[in-house]
């Protein structure tokens, strides 16, 4: 996908698409450095270094976070989820920014857990079978089956064709569908007021990355959230609630 053209076609999404590109660059660099991350005495500081270099942020900006991680004895490689829940008290950081930052800094560690194998399933409790976080994106396969995709570790696994992964509601009358002009859809659960997005093969062929499709369909999040539905996990640029 030619992202420059994508921005030309959707100038209102220039900022999230540009941010998406930066996030992908940062993640690719972390994947390339995977061996160093695994071997590092302080892997969190190492990832913070990559993040600061890609986003052009002065190195020392997040040293308070690295200190917190080592003080709390958190091992980000075995337990990336615990990074998401570090308490941060920083006067210039709002709750949303904090969550976004922790999502972005923990994501390379989640991706180290990723498993590309058949037969993984979100059906037991709606959570990612690899990292345990909740999904917000799915795809419908050519065989008309549903796969959910974890935004944290990017593992993919089977799910019910119609169903809500948050409350496990599977009664189709209480699940509504909204489509955008490209037929990217949101599935709204009337029982727990959550939603997930889903896309089809043709969208994936066109855009390559389900998480990019999640970004270009941000207007669907806006409409859905205005109706009072919640997104339970962030998109790849770390945004769950749109304000
Ligand atoms: Zn996961
Ligand atoms: Zn539900």
Same domain for 162 and 207: yes
Assigned domain for 166 exists: yes
pLDDT (tens digit, 9 = 90+) per residue, 157-204? 999 999 999 999 999 999 999 999 999 999 999 999 999 999 999 999
pLDDT (tens digit, 9 = 90+) per residue, 77-91? 999 999 999 888 777
Same domain for 84 and 162: no
Beta bridge partners of residue 140, listed in sequence order: 146, 200
Query: Cα(135) to centroid of ligand 1, in Å?
Result: 8
Same domain for 167 and 92: no
User: HEC profile for 174-239?
Assistant: HEEEEECCCCCEEEEECCCCEEEEEEEHHHHHHHCCHHHHHHHCHHHHHHHHHCCCECCCCCCCCC
From the CA of 174, the nearest ligand is 2
Query: Cα(1) to centroid of ligand 2, in Å?
Result: 33
H or E, element range at 38? helix 34-39
pLDDT (tens digit, 9 = 90+) per residue, 204-215? 999 999 999 999
Please provide residue 185's backbone torsions phi and psi, each rounded to the nearest 5 degrees. Answer: -120, 160
Instruction: Tell me how far apart the alpha carbons of residues 221 and 138 are, in angstroms, rounded to a whole number.
Output: 14
| Cβ atoms 147, 157 nearer than 8 A | yes
Same domain for 150 and 105: no
Instruction: Tell me how far apart the alpha carbons of residues 83 and 74 are, in angstroms, rounded to a whole number.
Output: 7
Domains of the chain: total:
2
Which domain, by its residues, includes 180? 137-226
From the CA of 151, the nearest ligand is 1
pLDDT in the model for residue 203: 96
Query: Cα(27) to centroid of ligand 1, in Å?
Result: 15
Same domain for 15 and 58: yes
Query: Cα(214) to centroid of ligand 2, in Å?
Result: 20
Assigned domain for 174 exists: yes
Same domain for 16 and 109: yes
Assigned domain for 215 exists: yes
From the CA of 192, the nearest ligand is 2
From the CA of 154, the nearest ligand is 1
Angle between helices 14-32 and 95-113 (to 10 degrees): 40
Assigned domain for 130 exists: no
Same domain for 95 and 18: yes
pTM (predicted TM-score) = 0.94
Residue with the two structure tokens 């308070």: 64
């Amino acid at each position: 996908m030619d992202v420059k053209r994508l921005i030309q076609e959707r100038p209102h999404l220039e900022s999230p698409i540009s941010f998406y590109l930066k996030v992908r660059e940062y993640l690719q660099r972390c994947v390339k450095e995977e061996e160093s991350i695994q071997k590092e005495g302080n892997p969190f500081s190492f990832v913070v270094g990559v993040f600061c270099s890609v986003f052009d942020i002065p190195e020392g900006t997040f040293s308070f976070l690295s200190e917190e991680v080592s003080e709390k004895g958190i091992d980000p490689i075995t337990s990336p989820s615990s990074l998401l829940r570090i308490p941060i008290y920083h006067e210039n950081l709002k709750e949303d920014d904090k969550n976004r930052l922790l999502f972005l800094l923990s994501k390379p560690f989640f991706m180290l857990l990723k498993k590309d194998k058949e037969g993984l399933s979100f059906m037991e409790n709606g959570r990612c079978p690899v990292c345990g976080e909740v999904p917000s994106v799915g795809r419908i396969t050519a065989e008309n089956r549903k796969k959910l995709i974890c935004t944290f570790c990017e593992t993919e696994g089977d799910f019910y064709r119609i169903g809500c992964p948050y409350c496990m509601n599977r009664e189709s009358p209480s699940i509504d569908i909204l489509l955008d002009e490209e037929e990217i859809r949101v599935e709204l659960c009337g029982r727990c007021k959550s939603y997930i997005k889903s896309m089809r093969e043709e969208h994936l062929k066109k855009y390559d990355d389900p998480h990019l499709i999640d970004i270009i369909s941000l207007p669907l999040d806006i409409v859905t959230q205005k109706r009072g539905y919640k997104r339970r996990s962030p998109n790849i640029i770390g945004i769950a609630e749109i304000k």
